[in-house]
Structure 1
């Protein structure tokens, strides 16, 4: 890395950042001083998040691509490197969910869930891992779920994908750690975002709240704070860790 690249603003990328947890993470990383690439397949939502970042005194840019499209991800990463010369943090937050009994799940729904939720993370790690390895530093934060380790009604495919994300986090921590790249994950509890409420009703969230020892549901900002820590120098020796942010749900 040359002197100009070393002095360039740190760059963070958040996928699925058009709303909900992803948007909260993007805003927090902007407050932490990163230039934030707000990535989402929905350009309108990402533009609104970037506008908010700028209104708060930060800097950001829109990136509209489908993480399930490997060629699109690689093309975006090449352009990012050309324009910024670096990539410091990537948060793999994008997901596409359909809950339902495994016996009733359709092939198109399963394919889309795997394409976005698992392959999309792999494509992003392939694209940014080379950049980070070449610069000798970087932080990747994946998003897993309690469903990876707990039996959850109608979440067989989702839980399997998140189990794969947990495993991928550990494997990549070992593979990329030798190049100075840290790979960790956050494990959110119940967070009633706009998108999540399309899948879980009020009764479902009340059940989750009742099972949470802290007695409340999570907020997007709770996850944003956890990601902020993992991306910070305070976590410079944290690698291969799944940070649970669930109010104690996993131990209840």
Structure 2
């Protein structure tokens, strides 16, 4: 039986993260060959093993590298392209930021979060697009923090807002080449990166009233949106950043300053 992504090749940056692994698994299940890039080889190998356990016929390569380093990104994109002589899908998941009051931020901390969330995606797009043919898809991972201000998380809010501007700017120009660029904007989702938030007393209690659907996200919730934006089902969708957040954007982000200071 023909699968929707048979013959296609995808690269996933930040490839050992929870959302990245779940997204890669769905891409593999629908036929795509994969290259997972991340900084920790052992973590990438665990993700590869998880994917192959679920999809035994999957082709999954791994390559250690830093998504904010241009040469590492170029090497990973080249390795992905060499799997089958083509590159069809880029999933850029690298991102993150720490809690700190706005007036305590240093310029270098803002630059760091910008590089981590924006430059990493820019490099994947800038060097990946020349390897792609019309019909290619780029999917970025944003955050509800791009739209909803978050007390003590201003640097991350600024960086994710810039990422969504990158999505719109790239989509407008790359549409002429038949390449689509979109983003998923997750709400609070359980993963290695958000583990401390799930483990810190009081944090989930503060978040809970802000989710109309009454639960927090799991990686597969986000992965299903990534799979949609990467595949042929979304062939007339570009320049979009949409929330998969249990309804969080209907409300607000909580002020966690008292909880964090108490911790």
CA shift, 1:224, in A, is 0.4
1:106-145 equivalences under 5 Å are: 106-132=106-132, 135-145=133-143
Displacement after TM superposition at 1:225 (Å): 0.5
Using the alignment, how far apart are the partners of 1:155 and 1:114 within structure 2? 13
Alpha carbons of structure 1 residues 8 and 215: separation in structure 2 relative to 1, 3 Å? closer
Equivalent residues in 2 for 1:178-197 (5 A)? Answer: 178-197=176-195
> TM-score with structure 1 length normalisation?
0.91
- Deviation of 1:124 after TM superposition, in Å, equals 0.6
1:154-193 paired onto structure 2 within 5 Å:
154-193=152-191
1:14 matched to 2:12? The reply is yes
Deviations 1:119-162 (A, max 9, x none): 11111101111112xx2220001111121122211111100000
2:63 matched to 1:63? yes
The answer to whether structure 1 residue 41 and structure 2 residue 33 are counterparts is no
**3-state SS of the aligned residue for 1:67?**
coil
Q: 2:145 aligns with which of 136, 144, 147?
A: 147
Out of 99-108 and 235-244, give the one that drifted further. 99-108
Q: Aligned partners of 2:45, 2:75: CA distance in 1, in Å? A: 20
Gaps of 5+ in 1: 1-6
Q: Number of aligned pairs?
A: 244
Match of 1:241 in 2: 240
TM, length-normalised to structure 2? 0.87
Task: Tell me by how many angstroms 1:223 deviates.
Answer: 0.2
CA spacing shift, 1:88–1:74, aligned 2, 3 Å: same
Q: 2:67 aligns to what SS in structure 1?
A: coil
Report the equivalent of 1:217. Answer: 216
Q: What residue number does 2:257 align with?
A: none
| Corresponding residue for residue 78 of structure 2 | 78
Give the conservation status (yes or no) of the 8 Å contact 1:65–1:72. yes
Would you identify which runs of 4 or more consecutive aligned residues in structure 1 move more than 4 Å? none
Residue 4 of structure 1 aligns with which residue?
none
User: How much has 1:180 moved relative to structure 2?
Assistant: 0.6
**Equivalent position of 1:95 in the other structure:** 95
Could you say what secondary structure the match of 1:193 adopts?
A: coil
Question: Partner residue of 1:226?
Answer: 225
Partner of 1:3: none
2:22 match: 24
Q: Structure 2: which 5+ runs fail to align? A: 252-263
Change in 2 beyond 3 A, CA 1:203/1:137: same
Question: Cα RMSD between the aligned structures?
Answer: 1.8
